[in-house]
Structure 1
């Protein structure tokens, strides 16, 4: 069986991400985020197994994700399963605001992956959605690039490695990070590669 190679790319910086806002209003990359994405695209083009326009590219519906894909020279197809968490009433509001106005609800959300005090999705629900999507990709036998949100990548790693959902809090995914998973069809493996020697 031809292995499946899946690269999970976190979109670049947005104003909402820099200001620690929940979800935001689907703003696109900010100026620094676009510059960083274009610079990272140049770095990736020199790496072994680089991101290629010939690979299948799937993207979150968010503008920041599709703009990141285009900055990398990719042709994305929108996949709703890669959307960010639905933060319900907290969408577009800052972490700091919620900490002041709803400290107990924020504590509940941070400490209990099954809770959704904002009326949107819980982290566990995002993991279930992304996990079903991830399971469906294992046997595709091709190289796939996805451009999505840091939280989506965090829960994808937890699902792929069959870790307890609470461990998502111990996974940090920075903007433009690239995580590689590979599969022969039965399970996922996290693959870390060294940069090609110059």
Structure 2
């Protein structure tokens, strides 16, 4: 048995940093997605309320894993991007362009990448099939690691809600699979597809 880790992205509604909850549509889609997911030997979730909501909607008993937490947004937590851009555009620009910058007093992109990389490397080799319900930022950080991309690539990865990204070890590297989750449309228009993350150019 080896590690086969699937990251499932939960994205809250609203544009505030580190705030919000899943929309009604997001909850309905999570319920539908639960029927499409295969069984897992281990299910984990980030500490946020949206990730707890998603685990409940999927009908899964998920163990809280602090290492999967979202960015520490520092003094920006609860504020919208628009609010920060209007009052402090230069510090926001620095955070979005310099992976070592943390102008909000919280966490830099590089720190997040290191934190999540340390967590991934700590998984026991006999973990088996594991599911981790987590934040878009965590998915981006682990993709940066698996793709051996520079930390500056972080903001060029788009991670939609219900993206499913699978990681399996190959020697001292990780293989990545971008999965699709087919959702049953309860309005009667047929199946919907959620595709995994894509590079934004």
TM-score, normalising length: structure 2: 0.83
1:188 is the counterpart of 2:190: no
Aligned to 1:168: 154
Aligned to 2:12: 14
Aligned to 2:71, what secondary structure does the other structure show?
Answer: coil
Conserved 8 A contact 2:163-2:180: no
Aligned to 1:29: 22
Conserved 8 A contact 1:3-1:185: no
Alpha carbons of 1:178 and 1:74: their partners in 2 closer, same or farther (altered >3 Å)?
Answer: same
1:81 is the counterpart of 2:79: no
Structure 2: runs of 5+ lacking an equivalent = 183-201
Per-residue CA deviations over 1:20-76 (Å, capped at 9, x if unaligned) read 21111xx4323222112112223x24xxxx2x2x42011101121122122222210
Structure 1: how far apart are the matches of 2:46 and 2:180?
27
Structure 2: how far apart are the matches of 1:63 and 1:73?
15
Alpha carbons of 1:30 and 1:171: their partners in 2 closer, same or farther (altered >3 Å)?
Answer: same
Structure 1: how far apart are the matches of 2:110 and 2:73?
13
Structure 1: how far apart are the matches of 2:80 and 2:21?
17
Structure 1: runs of 5+ lacking an equivalent = none
Give the superposition deviation at 1:161: 2.3
Aligned to 2:148, what secondary structure does the other structure show?
Answer: coil
Structure 2: how far apart are the matches of 1:149 and 1:83?
7
Aligned to 1:155: 141
Alpha carbons of 1:193 and 1:90: their partners in 2 closer, same or farther (altered >3 Å)?
Answer: closer
Residue of structure 2 aligned with 1:113, choices 82, 86, 99: 99
Aligned to 1:101: 87
Per-residue CA deviations over 1:68-113 (Å, capped at 9, x if unaligned) read 1222222100010000001001001000111110000011000001
Structure 2: how far apart are the matches of 1:107 and 1:194?
33
Aligned to 1:177: 163
Conserved 8 A contact 1:29-1:64: yes
Count of residue correspondences: 182
Aligned to 2:111, what secondary structure does the other structure show?
Answer: helix
TM-score, normalising length: structure 1: 0.85
Alignment of 1:65-80 (within 5 A): 65-80=51-66
